[in-house]
C-alpha cells in the first residue's frame, strides 16, 4: 500500500546523508569521547564538529551549544535550570498558553516548588498577546519562555519583538522553544537576543536521541543532571556520539536546504489549505492564514460533525499518517490546549486534523490526500448524529450539560493521573 | 502491539447497523459533542424482542466500534436481556479496549439501555 507520512511535527524521516555520517560511530569508533586514547579522540572530534554545525545553523558560538538527549530535556534544562539559577533575583516566571508540555509541565513543577507562573494568552491566530506580556512583567520576573513556532497550528511568534519587550521591562532571561522553527525557518539566536533556545534533531531529518540548548555566554543555569564534566559541566552523562554526529550533519544540511525546502513545502501546504475547503463543507482552518506568519509545513483544519481520531484512523487505513488535537486522540482525553487557547469551539475542535509536511512530500501525495480525505469525512458524517441533526434542522446540536449526559464525570473530566 | 484490537478495528472500519429508524419504538441518546462523542440508538421491539437496532455515532474509533458491537449484541434479544448487557460485556466482545477508552463501552451500553427505557415509557411500563 502507498504510504504518505504527514506527521512531521512529531518526527521526520532521517536524511540518508545524515545516516551515513552516523554509521562509523556505532561499530568503528565506539570510544567514550571523554577518554584520551585514539578512539575517544575521534568521538570527541565528532561531537565538536556537530557542535560547530548546530552553532552555525543559529548563528551562535560553539561553546554556547549544550547537547541533550531530547528537546524535552533541553526545555526542562532551560526552564528549571534557569529558574534555579536566577532564583535569588525573584521567583516569577512567564510562559505562553501554547507551550509544549515539556515547558508547561516544567513550569508547573516549579510552581509546586514556590515559583509563581503567569500564562500569556494568544489570539485566534496563535499570536502571543503583547499587551498581556507587558502587563505580566514584574520586577521579580526572572524568566520568560515563549515558543518560536507552534507545531500544531503553525503560529510563528515575533520573538525579536517579544525579547525587546521583556528586556525593556526588566532583567528577565528569555528562552524560546524553537524546535519547529530550526531547520524550517532561518533562526539567528544572536539577532533575536534570546538567552536560551531549544533545537531538536528528529524534527530536522536528524536522528532521535539528540537535541540541544543554546545558552548565551554568561547565562546562569543549574544542571538538571548531575555527574561528570560533559557539556561544559552543564549536562552530565556519556554523549550519544552517533546521534550527536548525525544531528550536526542535519544542521549543516538544513542550513543549505532550508530556503528551498520551505518554498517547496509551502506550495504543498497552500494546495491543501485552498483545495480542502472546496471539497469539504463546514471546515475551518486553525491558526493563521497561509500568507501570514504560519509555518510552511503546517496544515490544521477542524472538520465539523466528525471526530479527529476516527479521521486519522481511516486515513491510516489508506496509508496516510496524520495527527489530531481532539480529546479522544490525546492520551489525557482533553482537547489540545493549543486549540483551546486560540478559542476554537470545543465541539468543533474535536474534529481537528493536523497534516505536517516534510521535504520528502510530493505533489502526487497531496493529490492522493485530496482524493481520499473528503471520502473519509463523508463516510463519518453519514454516521454522525450531529451531522444528521444539522442536515435535518439547519441547526447545530447544543453542546453542554443540556445534552442529557449521565456520566459526565466518568468521561469528560477524566482524571489526568488515571 | 496495535493500539486497538483487530476486532475493534474491524467493527470501526465496517460498522454494522448504522442509520436511523424513523418509526422507532425507543430512542436513546448519550454523550456530548464537547466531550468528543455522542451516540443515538434506535430500536424496534416486536413481542418483547428487539427486532431491529440502528445507531448514529459521533466519536473516536472505539466509540464507533462499541456502537456497532452493542447493536449486534442487542439484536434478537428480549428487552430484559438487553438491559443486562454491561459495559464489561461489550469490551470483552471487542477483545478488550485500551484503558483510556473503556469509557466508550459505558457510552454504548448506556445509549442502548436508554433506548429501552424510552420504549418502556412509551408502553406505559414503569
Q: What percent of chain A has pLDDT over 90?
A: 86
Q: Are residues A354 and A242 in the same domain?
A: no
Which residue in chain B has the smallest CA separation from A347?
B34
Predicted pLDDT of residue A335: 82
Residues of chain B with Cβ-Cβ distance to A383 below 8 Å are 15, 18, 55-57, 64
Predicted pLDDT of residue A346: 87
Predicted pLDDT of residue A135: 96
Predicted pLDDT of residue A381: 97
Predicted pLDDT of residue A402: 34
By mean pLDDT, which of A29-38, A235-244, A399-408, B100-109 is the weakest?
A399-408
Task: Decide if A129 is inside a domain.
Answer: yes
Predicted pLDDT of residue A326: 77
- Partner residue facing B106 (CB), from A306, A326, A410: A410
Q: Are residues A134 and A267 in the same domain?
A: no
- Is B111's Cβ below 8 Å from some Cβ in A? no
- Is B22's Cβ below 8 Å from some Cβ in A? no
Banded model confidence at residue A10, pLDDT cuts 50, 70, 90 = very high
* Interface contact flag, B100 A414, Cβ < 8 Å: yes
Q: Are residues A46 and A159 in the same domain?
A: yes
Task: Decide if A116 is inside a domain.
Answer: yes
- Is B57's Cβ below 8 Å from some Cβ in A? yes
Q: What percent of chain A has pLDDT over 70?
A: 94
Q: Are residues A308 and A245 in the same domain?
A: no
Task: Decide if A11 is inside a domain.
Answer: no
Q: Are residues A363 and A215 in the same domain?
A: no
Domain CATH for A244: 3.40.640.10
Predicted pLDDT of residue A416: 37
- The DSSP symbol for A165 reads H
Closest CA to A183 of A158, A148, A152, A216: A148
Question: Is pLDDT at B119 greater than 90 in this prediction?
Answer: yes
Instruction: Show which of A216, A235, A254 is a domain's final residue.
Output: A254
Across the range A189-199, mean pLDDT stands at 98
* Interface contact flag, A411 B103, Cβ < 8 Å: yes
Predicted pLDDT of residue B125: 59
Across the range B1-13, mean pLDDT stands at 90
Task: Decide if A414 is inside a domain.
Answer: no
Question: Is pLDDT at A274 greater than 90 in this prediction?
Answer: yes
Give B56's strand partners: B40
Banded model confidence at residue A399, pLDDT cuts 50, 70, 90 = low
Instruction: Show which of A229, A254, A279 is a domain's final residue.
Output: A254
Question: Is pLDDT at B51 greater than 70 in this prediction?
Answer: yes
Q: What string of H, E and C letters represents the secondary structure of A168-221? A: HHCCCEEEEECCCCECCECCCHHHHCCCEEEEECCCCCCCCCCEEEEECCCCCC
Catalytic-labelled residue, pool B39, B45, B94, B104:
B104
Q: Characterize the bridge pairing of strands A141-145 and A92-96.
A: parallel
State the burial class of residue A85 (Cβ atoms within 10 Å of its Cβ: 0-12, 13-18, 19+). middle
Banded model confidence at residue A225, pLDDT cuts 50, 70, 90 = very high
* Interface contact flag, B63 A328, Cβ < 8 Å: yes
Predicted complex ipTM: 0.92
Instruction: Identify residues of A whose CB sits under 8 angstroms from chain B CBs.
Output: 305-310, 313-314, 317, 326-329, 331, 333, 335, 346-347, 350, 382-388, 397, 399-401, 403-408, 410-412, 414, 418
Domain CATH for A348: 3.90.1150.10
Question: Is pLDDT at A265 greater than 60 in this prediction?
Answer: yes
- Catalytic status, residue B104: yes
pLDDT digits (tens, 9 = 90+) for B55-109: 999 999 999 999 999 999 999 999 999 999 998 899 999 999 988 888 777 889 9
Q: Are residues A354 and A213 in the same domain?
A: no
Q: Are residues A103 and A250 in the same domain?
A: yes
pLDDT digits (tens, 9 = 90+) for A330-382: 766 678 899 999 999 888 988 999 999 999 999 999 999 999 999 999 999 99
Task: Decide if A47 is inside a domain.
Answer: yes
Task: Decide if A292 is inside a domain.
Answer: yes
The number of residues making up chain A comes to 418
d(CA A96, CA A121): 6
- Partner residue facing B34 (CB), from A346, A382, A407: A346
User: What does pLDDT average to over chain A?
Assistant: 93
Predicted pLDDT of residue A404: 39
Predicted pLDDT of residue A260: 98
Across the range B114-119, mean pLDDT stands at 96
Predicted pLDDT of residue A333: 66
- Partner residue facing A399 (CB), from B9, B34, B59: B34
Delineate the domains of chain B, giving CATH numbers in brackets.
Answer: 6-121 (3.90.1010.10)
SS3 B94: coil
For residue A163, the distance in angstroms to the closest alpha carbon of chain B comes to 37
* Interface contact flag, A411 B33, Cβ < 8 Å: no
Q: Are residues A280 and A240 in the same domain?
A: no
Neighbours of B120 (CB within 10 A): 16
Across the range A77-102, mean pLDDT stands at 97
Question: Is pLDDT at A407 greater than 70 in this prediction?
Answer: no
Question: Is pLDDT at B25 greater than 90 in this prediction?
Answer: yes
Across the A/B interface, how many CB contacts are shorter than 8 Å? 108
Predicted pLDDT of residue A220: 95
Banded model confidence at residue A401, pLDDT cuts 50, 70, 90 = very low
Q: Are residues A238 and A298 in the same domain?
A: no
Q: Are residues A146 and A73 in the same domain?
A: yes
Question: Please, which residues 75-94 of chain B have a Cβ atom closer than 8 Å to chain A?
Answer: none
Task: Decide if A243 is inside a domain.
Answer: yes
Residues of chain B with Cβ-Cβ distance to A350 below 8 Å are 33-34, 36
Q: Which residues contact A34 (CB under 8 A, 6 or more apart)?
A: A40, A44, A228, A229, A230, A238
Answer for the pair A33, A49: CB distance below 8 angstroms, yes or no: no
Task: Decide if A400 is inside a domain.
Answer: no
**Domain interval for residue A247:** 16-254
Q: Are residues A74 and A219 in the same domain?
A: yes
Instruction: Show which of A208, A235, A254 is a domain's final residue.
Output: A254
Question: Is pLDDT at A175 greater than 90 in this prediction?
Answer: yes
Predicted pLDDT of residue A414: 40
Total number of domains constituting chain A: 2
Q: Are residues A274 and A172 in the same domain?
A: no
Model pTM score? 0.92
Amino acid at each position: 500500500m502507498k504510504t504518505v507520512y504527514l506527521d512531521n511535527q512529531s518526527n521526520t524521516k532521517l536524511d540518508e546523508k545524515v545516516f551515513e555520517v552516523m554509521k562509523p560511530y556505532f561499530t568503528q569508533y565506539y570510544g567514550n569521547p571523554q577518554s584520551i586514547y585514539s578512539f575517544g579522540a575521534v568521538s570527541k572530534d565528532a561531537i565538536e564538529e556537530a557542535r560547530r554545525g548546530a552553532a552555525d545553523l543559529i548563528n551562535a558560538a560553539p561553546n554556547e551549544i549544550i547537547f541533550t538527549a531530547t528537546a524535552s530535556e533541553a526545555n526542562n534544562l532551560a526552564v528549571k535550570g534557569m529558574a534555579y539559577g536566577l532564583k535569588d533575583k525573584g521567583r516569577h516566571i512567564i510562559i505562553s498558553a501554547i507551550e509544549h508540555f515539556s515547558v508547561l509541565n516544567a513550569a508547573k513543577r516549579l510552581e509546586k516548588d514556590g515559583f509563581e507562573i503567569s500564562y500569556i494568552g494568544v489570539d485566534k491566530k496563535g499570536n502571543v498577546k503583547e499587551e498581556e506580556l507587558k502587563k505580566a512583567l514584574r520586577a521579580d520576573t526572572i524568566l520568560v519562555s515563549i515558543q518560536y513556532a507552534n507545531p500544531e497550528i503553525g503560529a510563528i511568534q515575533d520573538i525579536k519583538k517579544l525579547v525587546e519587550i521583556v528586556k525593556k521591562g526588566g532583567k528577565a532571561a528569555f528562552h524560546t522553544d524553537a524546535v519547529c522553527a530550526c531547520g524550517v525557518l532561518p533562526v539567528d539566536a544572536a539577532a533575536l537576543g534570546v538567552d536560551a533556545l531549544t533545537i531538536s534533531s528528529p524534527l530536522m531529518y536528524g536522528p532521535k536521541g539528540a537535541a540541544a540548548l543554546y545558552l548565551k555566554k554568561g547565562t546562569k543555569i543549574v544542571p538538571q543532571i548531575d555527574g561528570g564534566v560533559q557539556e561544559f559541566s552543564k549536562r552530565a552523562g556519556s554523549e550519544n556520539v552517533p546521534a550527536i554526529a548525525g544531528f550536526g550533519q542535519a544542521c549543516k544540511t538544513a542550513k543549505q536546504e532550508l530556503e528551498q525546502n520551505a518554498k517547496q513545502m509551502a506550495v504543498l501546504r497552500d494546495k491543501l489549505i485552498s483545495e480542502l475547503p472546496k471539497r469539504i463543507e463546514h471546515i475551518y482552518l486553525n491558526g493563521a492564514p497561509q500568507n501570514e506568519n504560519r509555518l510552511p509545513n503546517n496544515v490544521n483544519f477542524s472538520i465539523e460533525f466528525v471526530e479527529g481520531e476516527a479521521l486519522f484512523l481511516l486515513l491510516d487505513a489508506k496509508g496516510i499518517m496524520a495527527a489530531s488535537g481532539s480529546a479522544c486522540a490525546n492520551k489525557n482525553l482533553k482537547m489540545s490546549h493549543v486549540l483551546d487557547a486560540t478559542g476554537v469551539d470545543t465541539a468543533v475542535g474535536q474534529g481537528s486534523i493536523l497534516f505536517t509536511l516534510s521535504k520528502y512530500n510530493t505533489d502526487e501525495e497531496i493529490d492522493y490526500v485530496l482524493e481520499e480525505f473528503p471520502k473519509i469525512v463523508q463516510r463519518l458524517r453519514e454516521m454522525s448524529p450531529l451531522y444528521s441533526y444539522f442536515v435535518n434542522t439547519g441547526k447545530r446540536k447544543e453542546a453542554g450539560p443540556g445534552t442529557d449526559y449521565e456520566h459526565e464525570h466518568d468521561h469528560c473530566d477524566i482524571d489526568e493521573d488515571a | 502491539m496495535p493500539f486497538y484490537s483487530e476486532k475493534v478495528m474491524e467493527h470501526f472500519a465496517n460498522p454494522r447497523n448504522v442509520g436511523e429508524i424513523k418509526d422507532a419504538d425507543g430512542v436513546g441518546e448519550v454523550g456530548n459533542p464537547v466531550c468528543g462523542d455522542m451516540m443515538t440508538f434506535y430500536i424496534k421491539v416486536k413481542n418483547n424482542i428487539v427486532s431491529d437496532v440502528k445507531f448514529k455515532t459521533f466519536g473516536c474509533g472505539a466509540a464507533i466500534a462499541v456502537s456497532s458491537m452493542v447493536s449486534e449484541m442487542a439484536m434478537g434479544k428480549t428487552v430484559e436481556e438487553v438491559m443486562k448487557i454491561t459495559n464489561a460485556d461489550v469490551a470483552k466482545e471487542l477483545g478488550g479496549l485500551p484503558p483510556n477508552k473503556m469509557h466508550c463501552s459505558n457510552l454504548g451500553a448506556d445509549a442502548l439501555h436508554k433506548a429501552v427505557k424510552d420504549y418502556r415509557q412509551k408502553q406505559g411500563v414503569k
